[in-house]
Chains A and B, each alone.
Chain A
Amino acid sequence: MRETAILPWQRLKTDIQRRLRGRGALPWLVPVLILAIWQIAVQAGWLSTRILPTPWAVVTAGWRLLLSGELLEHLGASTARAASGFVIGGGIGFFFGLINGGYRLAENLFDTTLQMVRNVPHLALIPLVILWFGIGEEGKLFLVALGVFFPVYLNTFHGIRSVPPDLIEMGRSYGLRGWALFRQVILPGALPNILVGVRYALGFTWLTLIVAETISATSGIGYMAMNAREFLQTDIVVLAILLYAALGKAADMVARALERRWLRWNKSFLAA
């Protein structure tokens, strides 16, 4: 009967203590502290609002843009570019990873070429891309697709190669051929590596997009940031930076959710 006697505030206190003792709240302590110091520093005038707005100002700017509909419009434009570039580049990378991983002939034919192209930093192509495509959508898609291509290609290739030959031999001797062998043995065996490639590629997607949108765009988060810069709206610039971070994190979470779903059988992925 003694448990029922515990007062609500006592329960709250033990809850907080437990959270602090476990990992619960502790990792958030430092970020919260930094935000607090930041807010105080700007409010007290130690830091000019030209350099950094207060965190609160960033939040209100976000709210304002959300209400006006601008935020969603730019967010939508950026997400659409990221998604289509990712699908195109990832799709081509996946295709080449599959055929080069699966067939020696294809590897001999394409791999050296692809490895040479890989050594060109894709962002170095920007001047050329602007010459080719102008400042329209195509150039940005091209850059994103190129950035996404290599991580997906390399990891798919490696994944296919690292499927244990014992399992493939077993599959064959149990009557699996062609598509059935690929779908039931090779692809699931390569999947852990492919998903690693997807996660890397998502990182590249946003990185490329940031650069491409700040150089030439009429919509998107990068455009929003550049526009704000012209009018010295540091709050919106910081908001744009944080939005990129949030989008990157969201994409990573999607990839990890896929890993958890598709790699349930693999203990090392369950732990991650």
Chain B
Amino acid sequence: MNNPVTAIPIIVAVLLGIFSFAAVLVWAERRLLGIWQDRYGPNRVGPLGVGQILVDVVKLFIKEDWTPPFADRIPFIIAPCIILVVSLLGFAVIPVAPGATISDLNIGLLFVLAISSLGVYSIMLGGYASNNKYSLLGGLRSAAQMISYEVFMGLSVMGVVMLSGSFKLGEIVEAQQSMWFVVPQFLGFLIFMIAGIAETHRLPFDLPEAEHELVAGFHTEYSGMKFGMFMVGEYVGMVLVSSMIVTLFFGGWLGPFLPPFVWFSVKVLAFIGLFILLRAAIPRPRYDQLMAFGWKVMLPLSLLNLAVTGGVWLWLHA
């Protein structure tokens, strides 16, 4: 573990990096979606519409921050804080470059899984505390969805742990010097990516929000910066999942010529682009389809992946 004095500059750098990433992401997503849907997207404020982010932030801050009188007040206020805190905490163990980790925990991978499993409380509490039927339905859906997809999110990365022999994210990256884990663990990668999108409830899996059936799902009653925190939390979560995919399956900071940090950012950006493309390309499944897909397809596949990886590893090494 780093000592506090050397850790503080890294913390500040990582925090600023994530927030600027997330802010640019909002704009990039809207522009890219616009391109893929044959329209412009935001293009009025500043060059190419980049200023849209600043204007949106100002708008969110000066809007009335209203807590409905029928809401359960304290959980209502805590809920948006949880998602932001939890998403940001995950970055504490992500190795951006060699040595540039806030805390390279021995159980780094488990830490990220634990943290992401706490994220569900934000949405459940938001749904419960709003005291609104649509919000409650959104909260219930998210609880069922995230619990189901967490199961094989954890199982799918165990192949990587077997191959690298460590839960430490830094060591997992180092173990990919000769080959990225996406090659031996392609199935694991696919399962982890699908589960990761479901965990951040991005569009193909955004049933907790589902605006055509549930108004806006769990955040129907939220306004102003509390609503903004849900949005920022979602984008930060997206960056976190992309960073995890890059770290676990695509060699993290490893790459020729360019400095490690640049490689890491390029890979993360590529995955974020893929997420946005998925949002533009795939329609939302029905709720029972989502659950059946999780338990009847993804769970057996991830168990199979685990058994085959273990068997092959033993065959090669023992």
Q: Do A and B bind each other?
A: no
